[in-house]
Chain A
Amino acid sequence: MDKLTPIKIPLLNTNEPDALLVSLECKEGAPVKQGQVLAVVETTKSTGDILADKTGYLVGLRYMEGETLPAGEVLAYIGETPDAQDPAMPPWSGKDTLQLEEVNQPNGLRITTPARELAIASGLDLSSLPHGPLITQQMIEKRLSGQIPPQPQPIPAGEKRILIYGAGGHGRSLAAMIRKLGNFEILGFLDDGYPSGDQVFGLPILGGSEKLPELAQDGVRLAVNGIGGISDLQVRLSVHDLLYQASFFCPTIIHPTAFLEESASLENAIQVFPFAYIGTEVTVNFGCIINTGVIISHNCELAPFVNLSPGATLAGGVTVGEKTLIGMRATINLNVHIGKAARIGNGATVKANVPDRGVVPAGSIWPPRR
Chain B
Amino acid sequence: MSSKSPVTVLDSLNLGLHQAMRDDPRVILLGEDVLDPYGGAFKVTRGLSSQFPKRVLTTPISEAGITGIAGGMALRGMRPVVEIMFGDFTTLIADQVINHLSKFQAMYHDRVRVPVVIRTPMGGRRGYGPTHSQSLEKFFLGVPGLTILAPFHIKGFETLGTPGKLLYDAIAALDFPVFFVENKTQYLLKLMSTNDLQEYEVSQIETAGAPAFPFYKLALRSAPKAQITLAAYGYMAHLALKAALRLAYEDEIFCEVLVPTQLSPFELAPLFDSVNQTTCLLTIEEGTLTLGWGAEVLARTTEVLGPSLKVARRLAATGAVVPAAPDQEADCLPGIEDIIVRVREMA
Contacts and interface: CB of A to CB of B under 8 A. Distances in A.
Contacts of A134: 220-224, 248
Interface in A120-173: 132-134, 136-138
Contact of A112 (B4, B196, B198, B252): B252
Interface string B223-255: 110000000000000000010011011111000
B246 A110 contact: no
Interface of A: 66-68, 95, 98, 100, 102-104, 110, 112-115, 132-134, 136-138, 281, 299
Nearest to B222: A133
B273 interface: no
Given A134-B223, A299-B222, A100 B195 contact: no
Nearest to A44: B43
Closest 4 CB pairs of A and B: A133-B222, A134-B223, A102-B245, A103-B249
A136 to B, nearest CB: 6
19 contacts: A66-B7, A67-B7, A68-B190, A98-B195, A98-B196, A98-B198, A98-B199, A100-B245, A102-B242, A103-B199, A103-B245, A110-B222, A112-B248, A112-B250, A113-B250, A136-B223, A136-B252, A138-B224, A299-B222
Contacts of A103: 199, 245-246, 249
Nearest to B244: A102
B5 interface: yes
Nearest to A132: B222
Interface string B199-222: 100000000000000000000111
Nearest to B190: A68
Contacts of B246: 102-103
Nearest to B241: A102
A134 B195 CA distance: 17
A114 B249 CA distance: 8
B249 A112 contact: yes
Main secondary structure of the interface of A (DSSP, over half): loop
Given A66-B7, A95-B195, A112-B248, 8 more contacts: A66-B5, A103-B199, A110-B222, A114-B251, A134-B223, A134-B248, A137-B252, A281-B222
Main secondary structure of the interface of B (DSSP, over half): loop
A113 B195 contact: no
Contacts of B245: 100, 102-103
Nearest to A263: B222
Contact of A100 (B4, B199, B251): B199
Nearest to B243: A102
A113 B223 CA distance: 14
Contacts of A114: 250-252
Contacts of A68: 7, 190
A281 B223 CA distance: 10
B45 to A, nearest CB: 16
Interface string B178-203: 00000000000010000110110000
B224 A136 contact: yes
Contacts of B252: 112, 114-115, 136-137
Given A66-B4, A66-B5, A102 B222 contact: no
Contacts of A104: 249
Interface in B1-53: 4-5, 7
B193 to A, nearest CB: 10
Contacts of B199: 98, 100, 103, 110
A281 B220 CA distance: 13
Contacts of B223: 133-134, 136
Contacts of A67: 7
A136 B251 CA distance: 10
Nearest to B220: A134
Contacts of A100: 199, 245
A185 to B, nearest CB: 37
Contacts of A112: 248-250, 252
